[in-house]
Amino acid sequence: MYLYIMGRGHSGSTILDILLGNSSQIESVGELLSGLSSAHRQVCSCGESLANCPFWREVRSNLEAEGVAWNEPRDILKTGAAALWRVWRASPADPTMARRARITRALARAITACASKPHLVDSSHTPTHGLLLLRHLPEARVIHIVRDPRYVLRSHLWRIRGHLHFSMLRYRFIGRNSSLFLVWLAASWTLVNLTGDLMARAFPTRVVRVRFEDLCAQPARELGRIGSAFGLDLSDVSSKAANREALLVGHNIGGNQVRHAKEVRFDPGGGQAHPPLPLWLEAVNLVLCGPVMWRYGYRLGGSAGRPARSKAALSR
């Protein structure tokens, strides 16, 4: 089974990825497709480059044995509304979609064979690939992860104020246009999550929505819900999370830097506090995200829901 974690960035996908990867049945590889799209500069969580990591060397060998070149997965991850619309409209026989599905499936086989586990989880989190999987890989399942948008905004605001400029959609956001970026971010939270809801409506047995705050508060219950929806026994990892046992990070690529810790513990109350949102941004959030927040059960007044202090609910 190809498990795919989809949602807005900074919503806790890395944490869920590491949790699931500690199941005896699932191999976690981080943001697989986005990592492979920049394979030449990726450092695996084991500390080696992909060219030197024994795990990824074997994956590459397995993939090439299937007739798929190592650079072919590089261009199959697409982002943006136009790409999403193309996947939605494409017929089941569309050659471009069929090629992407064939490469994804070969990659999954190469990884699970190397890991000696039956399933893998990819937290690349873009809706476009989630939809491709739902339409063209019947064995794929999608976990739609949601987090209070006020946390997502605070996290980005902290980066902006710390002059940790970053690129998104090939633009660099810093300085004067950072306010515009934060407005766009709030709007994109709603659009990404509404897209996830449409996918769940179209493929009700293959999509599960998880609120990150519920995962932190009751990890065993939420993991059990994922397991029963997809026919997976996640009791081993549920127990580890509930007891805050050490979680191992596999050969992960892409995404959050926490993956470079060799071992982490699930810590619902941990993490770093971010300053509150300015009033103008609270108002923007209420207008752009309020209706969807209300539908997901978030309180519209006050600060972001539990866990209020959590930057990443993992401690090293």
* Residues that bind Zn ion in the complex, under the rule CB under 5 A: 44, 46, 53, 55, 251
Beta-bridge partner residues of 180: none
Query: What is the nearest approach in angstroms of Zn ion to the Cβ of residue 68?
Result: 20
CB-count burial class (<10 Å; 0-12, 13-18, 19+) for 229:
middle
| DSSP states of 227-292 | HHHHT---HHHHHHHHTT-EEE--S-BSS-GGGGSSEEEE-TT-S---PPPPHHHHHHHHHHHHHH
Query: What is the nearest approach in angstroms of Zn ion to the Cβ of residue 17?
Result: 15
Query: What is the nearest approach in angstroms of Zn ion to the Cβ of residue 75?
Result: 23
Residue whose CB is less far from Zn ion, 53 or 157: 53
Tokens of 294: 């209300």
Query: What is the nearest approach in angstroms of Zn ion to the Cβ of residue 253?
Result: 8
Residue whose CB is less far from Zn ion, 38 or 303: 38
Q: How many CB atoms lie within 10 A of CB 48?
A: 15
Residue whose CB is less far from Zn ion, 53 or 293: 53
Question: What is the total residue count of the chain?
Answer: 316
Residue whose CB is less far from Zn ion, 46 or 98: 46
Query: What is the nearest approach in angstroms of Zn ion to the Cβ of residue 249?
Result: 10
Residue whose CB is less far from Zn ion, 155 or 252: 252
Residue whose CB is less far from Zn ion, 46 or 242: 46
Between CA 22 and CA 103 the distance in angstroms is 26
Q: How far is CA 136 from the centre of its chain?
A: 20
Between CA 153 and CA 160 the distance in angstroms is 10
Query: What is the nearest approach in angstroms of Zn ion to the Cβ of residue 48?
Result: 5
